[in-house]
Amino acid sequence: MNAARRIAGHLACLGLLAGLPGCVDVAVFHRSIPDLIYSGVSGRDCSVVRLDQGQSYCVPVAQPPKPPPYCTRSLGGIDCWAHPELVTNLPPQVAQGPHDGAQALTEEQDRSRLARWPADLQ
């Protein structure tokens, strides 16, 4: 009888220990083993932790940034337009240098934005 209880106790401990790796995975990687597999297959960053935070299961694909406003000098200061094509007789832009804001993403930035998960940036 004692041997049967000891075996049952050992089996219960083994059953509890079997669930611990899942706890460690979420604590260390912020996703479970099935999340890692699904993320690797789909190429997206997916995690059950995101669901717990009230977000979608997978991180949405990043949208390209909006183009910067077109700013020109006026009598009293600076005027900026979101749609410069609608303005007639458009004066030159205030800043015409490297700091005026790119009109589009560089190839490297766009590749990084659309890369699969985990990093696919070679």
For 32-48, the pLDDT digits (tens) are 888 888 888 888 888 88
The pLDDT of residue 112: 79
The pLDDT of residue 97: 47
Let me know whether 40 and 75 are in one domain: no
Q: Does residue 69 have a pLDDT over 70? A: yes
- Summarize pLDDT for 47-65 with one digit per residue, the tens: 888 888 999 999 888 888 7
Q: Do the domain assignments include residue 17?
A: yes
pTM, entire model: 0.45
Q: Do the domain assignments include residue 24?
A: yes
Let me know whether 75 and 44 are in one domain: no
Q: Does residue 117 have a pLDDT over 80? A: no
Q: How far apart are CA 95 and CA 71, in angstroms?
A: 8
Query: With contact defined as beta carbons under 8 Å apart, do 57 and 48 qualify?
Result: yes
The pLDDT of residue 54: 92
Let me know whether 9 and 35 are in one domain: yes
Query: With contact defined as beta carbons under 8 Å apart, do 59 and 39 qualify?
Result: no
Q: Do the domain assignments include residue 57?
A: no
Q: Hey, what are 70's tokens? A: 């077109």
- Domain extent, residue 87, equals 70-96+103-113
Q: Do the domain assignments include residue 63?
A: no
The pLDDT of residue 17: 46
Let me know whether 48 and 88 are in one domain: no
Q: Do the domain assignments include residue 59?
A: no
Let me know whether 39 and 81 are in one domain: no
Mean pLDDT of 68-91: 84
Q: Do the domain assignments include residue 65?
A: no
Number of domains in the chain: 2
Q: Do the domain assignments include residue 38?
A: yes
Query: With contact defined as beta carbons under 8 Å apart, do 96 and 68 qualify?
Result: no
Query: With contact defined as beta carbons under 8 Å apart, do 65 and 53 qualify?
Result: no
> 80-87 long-range CB contacts below 8 Å, 24 or more apart?
none
Q: Do the domain assignments include residue 121?
A: no
